[in-house]
Chains A and B, each alone.
Chain A
Amino acid sequence: MQADLFPHRHLLGIEGLQPQDILGLLDRAEAAVEVSRQVEKKKSVLSGRTQINLFFEASTRTQSSFELAGKRLGADVMNMAVSSSSVKKGETLIDTAATLNAMHPDLLVVRHHAAGAVHLLARKVDCSVVNAGDGPHEHPTQALLDALTIRRHKGKIARLTVAICGDIVHSRVARSNIILLNALGARVRVIAPSTLLPSGIEKMGVEVFRDMREGLKGVDIVMMLRLQRERMSGSFIPSVREYYRYYGLDAEKLSFAREDALVMHPGPMNRGVEIDPAVADGPQSLIREQVEMGVAVRMAVLEALAAHLPNQ
């Protein structure tokens, strides 16, 4: 394994990571891919360690991915789903953190519906904290697994042109990817209707397009985002069918990208809303591979943070 130490106790976001930190995690993840493809998948790096997956927001793929990653490294993994109703009973996030902290976990994987919630929690516990998505803020392991997937296919990240399409304003995936791809020297475009772009987007290190065909011209990677209707208070788009007409990725729109362009989606997909099933399951799609890389990247992250755990 890589000897170089990951210089952070928590992984709260891509923001604040140096390019070498990111590359170090990707290299580690490459090795984890190999481990995951063996018959004997179990390692003992985290043996005796307790990992708690604390999910304030429902998730299938991210939670199971973190669970598998922890187990493959030998950790005892506990999943805690905290429904928002029990939070409403009066227990604050801090109370929950204090309760968990008293149980001496070593790693805490947290997803929460509010931006900044994971930062708040990280300040109140003694263990290492991994952000598994905080509101529309960041989702660092998703950006890392996207980068790993891209690198394995294109051999590099630098100087690739990546278009992130769809519901940018509500997307933590978009924010983490914009930061990571810029850090590694890619050119980033965003394509979305103006109501789904955050204010100041033109200063966020991206080229902005409102027209999908225009925006897809010559790109190497097309990253689709899920239309997050559950986060939308009020009217952002008039209807799903109008959205699909202008921003849904189908073969015709995809033909504007480079011939060897690859299609990604963080999942879960809304087929027929932001992506045509034929494209989602077509030859240019990396969507299933992203899931595989997800486990590897999370193993890499947990392993990197484990180096900071006491008594090591």
Chain B
Amino acid sequence: MASDSPKPLVLSNARVIDPARDLDAPGSVIIADGTILAAGPEAANQGAPYGAEIIDCAGAIAAPGLIDMCVSVGEPGAEHRETLASASDAAAAGGVTTICTMPETDPVIDDPALVDFILRRARDTASVNVHPIAALTKGLEGQEMTEIGLLQEAGAIAFSNGHKSVRNAQTMRRILTYARDFDALIVHHTEDPDLAGGSMNAGLNASWKGLSGIPREAEVIMIERDLRLVGMAKGKYHANLISTSDSAEAIRIGKDRGLNVTAGVSINHLTQNENDIGPYRTFFKMSPPLRNEDDRKAMIAALADGTIDILVSNHDPQDVETKRHPWAEAEDGAIGLETLLAAALRLYHSGDIELLPLLACMTCRPADRLGLETGRLTTGAPADVVVFDPDRPWVLEKSAIRSRSKNSPFEDARFSGRVLHTIVAGRPVYTYA
């Protein structure tokens, strides 16, 4: 089944958006042999390939399938929370055609054989593209660097210490220096582990709740340290999840200095703030913590002006065993693959950001940073496409969540924007019923 090539496909009558080409125009997308043959207004005049299936998009948007470069999966070690198969089902339903998996599994992905394991499991069970991010240090302990060369050869797309920062500056400096020889991308969580000992954003809200706070400074201190190290080592660096205006400012300065630096933000930090926590609702506990409304707005502005390059779900499945605890004892993390696009469209509907740059943060920008061919609708690119109606309303019902874990901060949320079709390598993997 996997070997025979898919039937040619024509997405007709679409509004074709391809951020890589700054294209937003009515047209078609023609797909054959798993790649894009043509996409845009010019494709509308081309004939359909012989035997092609034609999908009438009826004016819906056809865009490159989304790339989510921060996804935690429970495989191996916590398959009851999420497998590559269930994560890819969730991704497909959310219009995400490529996921980069975080190395925080059990065992940690710090060995080439484990990278190979993920890739083989993905090939056999996943319906979307899967690229493992390997561990930056052995066991994620922040002490010894992993075999960056061998891991990269095995298929690791980048290197990360998961949701833990490397505390030792000398270790980080060496890793950045060594990784440069392999042109490897370092994706770093940026929280000073000593300052970030609390369980929610520091401030009045935490004080009333009797919770110890994580100050905003914990983040910018780590980013500023890292940027100095990147300057020394000339490494390739991505601040994975930033959450404060100060952090955005630091990234901006780093870019102005000509450093090879990018930054990411999670959809949660663009659409929620610490007030959403309410009476200790642990589905809103995440790392970095949800900040205040000013920081949320600063994150949107930083995304709109290009300071932040990449938007991710930071999908992190957690179950009852890890979430139904008193706040401080519950695990961090929220699922988000299925709601990434719909939640992101809230920013478009609110007028905060245009559709083209919004989609760029989830398509061509992560693709360029990771060196992937996908994330665009240019001729010859892999045919990873999402078709969505940006206005169609829907409600996220818990029973309909495809992830094995149901820890969504968007439970019962109303969205405008529904994925209709998701196509991976020319094959439809999701169709809205």
Contacts and interface: CB of A to CB of B under 8 A. Distances in A.
B338 to A, nearest CB: 26
Contacts of B204: 199-200, 203-204
A134 B324 contact: no
A114 interface: yes
Interface residues of A, number: 26
A15 B207 CA distance: 13
Interface in B205-229: 205-211, 213, 215
Nearest to A234: B197
22 contacts: A92-B321, A93-B326, A112-B326, A115-B280, A119-B280, A120-B280, A120-B324, A120-B325, A135-B211, A137-B211, A138-B210, A169-B207, A175-B208, A175-B210, A198-B206, A199-B202, A199-B203, A199-B207, A199-B213, A199-B215, A200-B204, A201-B207
A233 B211 CA distance: 13
Contacts of B209: 115-116, 137
A197 B327 CA distance: 21
A114 B207 contact: no
Nearest to A56: B326
B325 A92 contact: yes
Given A92-B325, A93-B326, A135-B328, A115 B210 contact: yes
Contact of A204 (B207, B279, B327): B207
A199 B209 CA distance: 12
Contacts of A115: 209-211, 280, 326-328
Give 9 nearest A-B pairs by CB, closest first: A137-B210, A200-B204, A114-B326, A116-B280, A198-B207, A136-B210, A117-B326, A115-B210, A116-B327
B80 to A, nearest CB: 15
A198 B206 CA distance: 9
A189 interface: no
Nearest to A112: B326
Given A199-B203, A200-B203, A233-B197, A114 B208 contact: no
Interface string A199-230: 11101100000000000000000000000000
Nearest to A116: B280
A199 B198 CA distance: 12
Interface residues of B, number: 23
Contacts of B321: 92
A33 interface: no
Interface in B165-222: 197, 202-211, 213, 215
B329 interface: yes
Nearest to A97: B324
A114 B282 CA distance: 13
A94 interface: yes
B104 to A, nearest CB: 21
Contacts of A198: 206-207
Interface in B292-350: 320-321, 324-329
Given A119-B280, A199-B202, A199-B213, A92 B324 contact: yes
Nearest to B324: A94
Contacts of B213: 199
Contacts of A114: 325-329
Given A115-B280, A115-B328, A116-B327, A204 B197 contact: no
A116 B279 CA distance: 7
Contacts of B328: 114-116, 135
B30 to A, nearest CB: 54
B81 to A, nearest CB: 16
A94 B208 CA distance: 24
Nearest to A121: B326
Contact of A172 (B207, B210, B326): B210
A175 B213 CA distance: 16
A117 B320 CA distance: 15
A244 B231 CA distance: 48
Contacts of B325: 92-93, 114, 120
Contacts of A175: 208, 210
Contacts of A92: 320-321, 324-325
Contacts of A203: 204
A135 B206 CA distance: 13
B197 A199 contact: no
Given A92-B321, A233-B197, A119 B203 contact: no
Interface string A287-312: 00000000000000000000000000
A16 to B, nearest CB: 10
Interface string A269-288: 00000000000000000000
Interface string A134-163: 111110000000000000000000000000
